Amino acid sequence: MLNENAVEPGFVIGYDRRFLSDKAAEWFASVLAANGITVSFIDKYVPTPIVMFKAKEMNTHYSACITASHNPADYNGVKVFIRGGRDADEVITAKIEQQISQLQPSDVKTIDFEDAVAQGKIVVINPMNEFVDSIIDFIDIEAIKKANLRVLIDPMFGVAKNACKRC
């Protein structure tokens, strides 16, 4: 269900496990929704590549993940992606920062997150299975099984934790 005034193909937003990332992502989605942009909101913390995957799949102009990425949690912020699910370069980032710097708090329109979901302005999604399936499509599972490998993974309490069955 898409808002008829929405800028299509919309915007994907994801977030990681860091403190308040989920709340920041909800606020970001609420601002976009209040401004006529339909948001596909990933329903739980995910690794950044999942946001990029979904943005590419949906052919969005822009998308974002609330994350500190590989940096310490103190550096939590917004990682912006452009068409194709690619990282925004410094030129695009500077333009976004310049536009934000001109805003006053009173310029920022928002809508209650749950109201926006009920109105179809924010669509809650979970692309985890699609993402995993897309990876499986690229690898030779049988060759890996025959290789008799032993693999160790330590997600270090990171966002990949929800992708690991035994972690």
| C-alpha torsion sign, points 147, 150, 155, 159 | positive
Whether 42 has a pLDDT exceeding 90, the answer reads yes
Whether 53 has a pLDDT exceeding 80, the answer reads yes
Phi, psi of 133, rounded to the nearest 5 degrees: -60, -40
pLDDT digits (tens, 9 = 90+) for 97-112: 999 999 999 999 999 9
88: Cα separation from own chain's centroid: 14
**Considering only CA atoms, which of 85, 86, 14 is closest in space to residue 56?**
85
Entry field: residues in the chain:
167
Point out the residues that are catalytic.
Answer: 69
φ/ψ bin of 150: left (φ > 0), alpha (ψ from -120 to 50), beta (otherwise): beta
Domains and CATH numbers, the chain: 11-163 (3.40.120.10)
